[in-house]
Amino acid sequence: MRILAIDYGTKRCGIAVTDELKLIASPLTTVEASELLDFLHQYCQSESVERIIVGLPKQTSGELSESEAAITTFIERLQEKLPEIHISRYDERFTSKIASHILVESGTKKKKRQDKALLDKISATLILQDYLSSLS
């Protein structure tokens, strides 16, 4: 079974997934927030997913960010749609900055680095990889 992670945004959401052995996190796609529930439902019908990790956006002070209300509503709807899948939260502080830094360090051209969808997928991958690391 796989673990899936979401970097939730009010416009679009980055999604990452593990391999079946749950060793490697890889970017999957970016989905418009309005289509996310349907996408997840379809994906979980075709792939075995045991857990969904949703990023927990905190400010540097440790307080929850403004987007938390929208994420909480999304999680409630997700739990109704996929009650058999466990949902966990994981701190996503600095993932966007780290993802941006990774793109710069990897030599990605500036135009490609401005692609917010790519940044969201990488952020979701970082959330998932950090989560996997915390398990060991």
Across 46-50, average pLDDT:
96
CB 37 within 8 A of CB 80: no
Dist. CA 31–CA 29, nearest whole Å? 7
Residue for token pair 């979980």 = 44
State which fold the 2-135 domain adopts: Nucleotidyltransferase; domain 5 (3.30.420)
Q: Is the pLDDT of residue 97 over 70?
A: no
Give the pLDDT confidence score for residue 65 in this predicted structure. 74
User: Considering all CA atoms of the chain, what is the largest pairwise distance in Å, rounded to the nearest integer?
Assistant: 42
Q: Is the pLDDT of residue 113 over 70?
A: no
Give the pLDDT confidence score for residue 109 in this predicted structure. 66
The domain spans of the chain are: 2-135
CB 17 within 8 A of CB 24: no
Give the pLDDT confidence score for residue 70 in this predicted structure. 92
Residue 127 structure tokens: 């959330």
Give the pLDDT confidence score for residue 115 in this predicted structure. 61
Find the DSSP H helices in the chain.
36-46, 68-81, 95-105, 110-113, 116-135
Q: Is the pLDDT of residue 3 over 90?
A: yes
Is residue 63 helix, strand or coil? coil
CB within 8 Å of 86: residues ≥ 6 apart: 50, 51, 52
